[in-house]
Structure 1
């Protein structure tokens, strides 16, 4: 389903240095480690750097964040032409970018074989309802296609109200409510099954 992933590079691993009181007050700060990776998406017209941040909260719970930076050439293009420009140059094709992020997660899985992960598929402020969010629907469909085979160890679940996607190992499905509750604490909400 995915093209060959881009070459990615491990940048650094950060240890959380916040004290226990700060970590109790803000669940987002309660991670143990943060792993940072980068890769570049480029063609003849522009080059974009994509940063992937993976926070490890315990041995099984990870949160994935990723974002793209833009080049000077891309900044010069006006907003109304930007999506057409990206479409024509095929910069940031979702399947290859997603394949690279899965490859990064795969490298972490070698060190943490019990990992499950979650991420927010959309954080768009101007949308009144995340249920109709295309980015969420595309990401969830991609994750379900990737994890749908019988030999894949993960299963994808979506929480459409907030555009959250969780990918839990199949052997931990009986612990799904506890895992999703842990993610609810991290993301700032309590989720129902």
Structure 2
């Protein structure tokens, strides 16, 4: 599972000129997932912040305020995960000190943001695919937050906590 990478392409690179939010650059990728009855476009947004911090947001392109919470019923979590992981790997190749932060959105039928089903899936996916010799996966189940940190930073408790604190501010800006 998580090995079927779909063809994707960089759509655009943005610089934060507005000052809204603390991100510096944003890369937007797109790819398509096909099922017997549909072809759906997915977008992956990678945002770069100071201190080698990155967020990765991905969703099916739909006109809905709950786009992060929707299910597409394509049953393609493996393909979706593999493609997002490949985009993360691409970012790591360009910035070996990269740290990643994710918030796993609750599905529409979940009543709490704590330990969501997506959180458990993303955590398992990252623990399975991220090289444990180079990176560690830290989580905060109460917030469904996941952090992928280089081992050299994760082994320093003060640095690790500073990174997680910085992500708390980033997540408050965005959610």
Task: Name the residue aligned to 2:50.
Answer: 58
| Residue 31 in structure 1 maps to residue 23 in structure 2 | yes
Q: What is the rounded CA distance, in whole Å, between the counterparts of 2:146 and 2:136 in structure 1?
A: 10
Contact 1:31–1:58 under 8 Å retained in 2: yes
For residues 112 and 106 of structure 2, the distance between their equivalents in structure 1, rounded to whole angstroms, comes to: 11
Query: Which deviations, in whole Å up to 9, do the C-alpha atoms of 1:90-144 show, x marking residues without a partner?
Result: x251122111001011112222221111111114466443334211111112212
What is the match of residue 68 of structure 2?
none
The structure where helix makes up a greater share of residues is 1
- Detail structure 1 runs of 4+ shifted over 3 Å in the superposition: 123-128
Aligned mates of 1:55, 1:165 — CA distance in 2: 16
RMSD: 2.5
Residues 169 and 93 of structure 1: CA distance in aligned 2, closer, same or farther (over 3 Å): same
Unaligned 5+ runs, structure 2: 63-70
Cα distance between partner residues in 1 of 2:36 and 2:128 = 31
- Hey, what does 2:11 align to over in structure 1? 11
What is the distance in 1 between the residues matched to 2:59 and 2:111?
22
How many equivalent pairs are there?
A: 164
After superposition, where does 1:39-54 map in structure 2 within 5 Å?
39-54=31-46
Over 3 Å counting, the alpha-carbon distance change for 1:158 and 1:179 in structure 2 is same
Among 82, 100, 121, which residue is 2:83 paired with?
100
Q: What is the TM-score when the length of structure 2 is the normalising length? A: 0.83
CA contact (8 A) 2:115 2:143 kept: no
Q: Which runs of 5+ in 1 are unaligned?
A: 24-28, 71-82
Larger Rg: 1
